[in-house]
A and B are shown apart, each in its own frame.
Chain A
């Protein structure tokens, strides 16, 4: 079955700097890769996703890149702000069939003022 590994587990960056979180997956048939943000005490919420037919997707200060050959994908947050502090989860699944969505172990991002 699918296995998703995520690193780092914790990340602290200076406000205004960039943050990068990386994930690898094991199932070569996976073709849908969402990222969820979970603020303290709240439910996870989708922030961006990418499908395997593209290599990069941007939405304002966040971007995701995908390397299908290497089976890894990354989340990039630029110009970080205090409200970016949260736990971020990557996930992978097979978009073309009814399938479970497997999450990585999460990255706790802290933004230093």
Chain B
């Protein structure tokens, strides 16, 4: 596609419900990242995929958070039993591939984000 696409753009849910956030990376981008941005705060690393493998899951805040990726395509971030502190914008970004390869300039291309509000 022309850019990174995320859905839903806005999600309001009740505490305790599960939510799924979707990210469609730029075609051909093998690396995919998820970040969380609370209101007025920085970009908190959650998880990173190289292809469909997740070499680094260290940023996931708790076992309520999980993510998967199908091949070098769509990724879903799932939050189970949502809490009010999960309210944030969840940003997905993709890049060409493994840092250090000739093709990869390292630039992350971000989606518009999914704004999650937990009541």
Q: Which residues of A contact B (CB under 8 A)?
A: 1, 6, 32, 34, 36, 43-46, 49, 89, 93-106
Contact = CB atoms under 8 A, between A and B. Distances in A.
B45 A95 contact: no
Given A49-B107, A98-B50, A101-B106, 6 more contacts: A32-B99, A34-B106, A44-B108, A103-B42, A103-B43, A103-B45
A104 B41 CA distance: 10
B90 interface: no
Nearest to B113: A43
Interface of B: 31, 33, 35, 41-45, 48, 50, 55-56, 58-59, 91, 98-100, 105-108, 110-113
Given A100-B33, A100-B56, A105-B41, A43 B110 contact: yes
9 contacts: A1-B58, A34-B106, A43-B113, A46-B108, A49-B105, A98-B31, A98-B50, A98-B100, A101-B108
Contacts of B42: 6, 89, 103-106
Given A1-B58, A43-B112, A43-B113, A100 B45 contact: yes
Contacts of A94: 99
Contacts of A6: 42
A45 B110 contact: yes
Contacts of B56: 99-100
B33 to A, nearest CB: 7
B59 A100 contact: yes
Given A97-B99, A97-B100, A46 B48 contact: no
A67 B97 CA distance: 27
B30 to A, nearest CB: 10
Contacts of B41: 105-106
Contacts of A36: 108
Given A1-B58, A105-B42, A98 B35 contact: no
